Amino acid sequence: MKTIRILFALLLCGGAVTGAAVAADTAQGFTRLDAAAARELVAPATHRVPTIIALWSAECVHCKKNLALFAAMSRAAAGPRLVTIAVEPDDPQLGEILDRFGVLGERFAYGDEAPERLAFAIDPDWRGELPRTLFFDGRGGLKAVSGIVDEARTRALLGLDRP
């Protein structure tokens, strides 16, 4: 009986440690992405409002140009929803970069699965070039674009230029 109590206590301690690890991950504001969650995140039917999913990396200069634009647009009245996916493991510098650009919204970073598997789950047509952005019009439409975009093109891709 004493052995069972010890095992139970160890399980509880293990759960506390796991809970602390999860809290540490979410303290940065990032959720680790796996392939199943990635597929769900990019399903057009789940986006009922215009949404931007920006794929980026800390080393990508052009990604930061897009992030600055998207952050400004998302903060405006009736702006699009902004979701970011860092295509690298969570690191404190990632949150600092997004904070510097005033990026609000959900933040994801690659989890433990192979990066190629995650990239394919996000966009099977994507070959890894950055920046990569997925534009959801909120009515079931999705367009994926690589490279820098300006505000007019972003509005058009989101369907915000329609009357």
Residue 72 lies in a domain: yes
Residue where the block lists tokens 């095992």: 7
**What CATH number is given to the structural domain containing 96?**
3.40.30.10
- Per-residue pLDDT band at 20 (split at 50, 70, 90): very low
Q: Are strands 30-33 and 106-110 parallel, antiparallel or unpaired?
A: parallel
The reply to whether 36 falls in a domain is yes
pLDDT at 161: 84
How many folded domains does the chain comprise?
A: 1
How many C-alpha atoms does 155 have within 13 Å on its Cβ side? 12
In a domain, 21, yes or no: no
pLDDT at 146: 98
Whether 112 is in a domain gets the answer yes
In a domain, 25, yes or no: no
Q: What is the pTM of this model?
A: 0.82
- Between strands 51-56 and 106-110, the pairing is unpaired
Helices 61-75 and 151-158, interaxial angle, to 10°? Answer: 60
- Calculate mean pLDDT across residues 2-17: 36
Average pLDDT taken over every residue of the chain:
86
On whether residue 8 sits in a domain, the answer given is no
Evaluate whether residue 78 is within a structural domain: yes
**Burial 60-95, CB ≥16 within 10 A → b, else e:** beebbebbebbbebbeeeebbbbbbbbbeebeeebb
User: Which residue type occupies 47?
Assistant: H
Q: 122 pLDDT exceeds 80?
A: yes
pLDDT confidence tier of residue 65, bands split at 50, 70 and 90: very high
Which residues 6+ apart lie within 8 Å of 1 measured at CB?
Answer: none
pLDDT of 9 strictly over 50: no
Between CA 39 and CA 17 the distance in angstroms is: 29
Per-residue pLDDT at 58 exceeds 70: yes
> What residues make up the domain containing 34?
30-158
CB 108 within 8 A of CB 83: yes
Torsion sign (Cα): 90, 94, 95, 96 = positive
- Structural domain contains residue 143: yes
